[in-house]
Amino acid sequence: MSTPNTPTSRRVGRPRAQERPAGGPEPRDEVLAAAAELFTTRGYTATSTRSIAERAGLRQASLYHYFDGKEAILAELLEGTVRPSLQVAARLVAHGEPSPEARLWALCHSDAALLCEGPYNLGALYLLPEVYTERFAVFHRLRSELKDSYAGLLAATEPGAALDAEEMALRADLLFGLTESVILIRRADPARDPAALATATADAALRVAGVPQRSLARLRREGRELLAAQG
């Protein structure tokens, strides 16, 4: 047996429980995927770092090479549900055209679609009591920035311009809450069509914003075109 200081015994990184196929996901991504499955099927409290490592094909010690514990994994998953929407929101706010109503529709649709995509309902993890601690401050900051984007686009709409500050804040909260309600709908009915749900949510959001029903078809078309142009 080689001694620890024998050159042939030294390895880079930490050992895996299973060999990863060439071109497969990176170990860190495997950990996140395994945790996403276990947190949403078994529950966060019932899931251990050992079970996450086993599902990812890693030794438990290897998991700690990428994350310092279960909370860090959960924080990464939660932040990952918001960052893409925040990037879309930044582009829509800066775009300047078409109308703010169409851009608001596009934001609501994109955000709802992102919350509905993937095999696991990660948005349901928002409801965990553990999320309301300082460890998840970055997630809450990102989510607050996203809500501010909703409020900014709402304020630029024709109905929004007529609102006072208190009513504006309430409408923004309602818009944001309506979009995130797809999390609960998906949990109650996992078979619901994500595309249809995203469209219905964006339509309903504009009605909450004060947009008349007669304008919805046009704004829906403009919103779809804007999202398609942005890729």
pLDDT tens readout for residues 25-59 = 789 999 999 999 999 999 999 999 999 999 999 99
Q: Which residues touch 91 (CB under 8 Å, ≥6 apart)?
A: 230
- pLDDT band of residue 2 (cuts 50, 70, 90) is very low
What's the confidence (pLDDT) of residue 95?
Answer: 81
Residue 174: what are its φ and ψ, rounded to 5°?
-65, -40
Specify whether 186 is located in the same domain as 82. Answer: yes
Specify whether 51 is located in the same domain as 109. Answer: no
Q: What is the pTM of this model?
A: 0.86
Specify whether 54 is located in the same domain as 146. Answer: no
Specify whether 126 is located in the same domain as 179. Answer: yes
Specify whether 54 is located in the same domain as 162. Answer: no
9's tokens: 């015994």
Three-state DSSP state, 72: helix
Whether 107 is in a domain gets the answer yes
Please, are residues 152 and 146 in contact by the beta-carbon 8 Å criterion?
no
Whether 144 is in a domain gets the answer yes
What is the domain extent for residue 209? 74-230
Mean pLDDT calculated for residue range 4-22? 40
Question: Into how many domains does the chain fold?
Answer: 2
pLDDT (tens digit per residue) in 91-115:
998 887 899 999 999 999 999 999 9
Specify whether 78 is located in the same domain as 182. Answer: yes
Alpha-carbon distance of 211 to 219, in angstroms, equals 10
Whether 49 is in a domain gets the answer yes
Residue 14 has pLDDT above 60, yes or no: no
Residue 18 has pLDDT above 80, yes or no: no
The enclosing domain of 56 has a CATH number of: 1.10.10.60
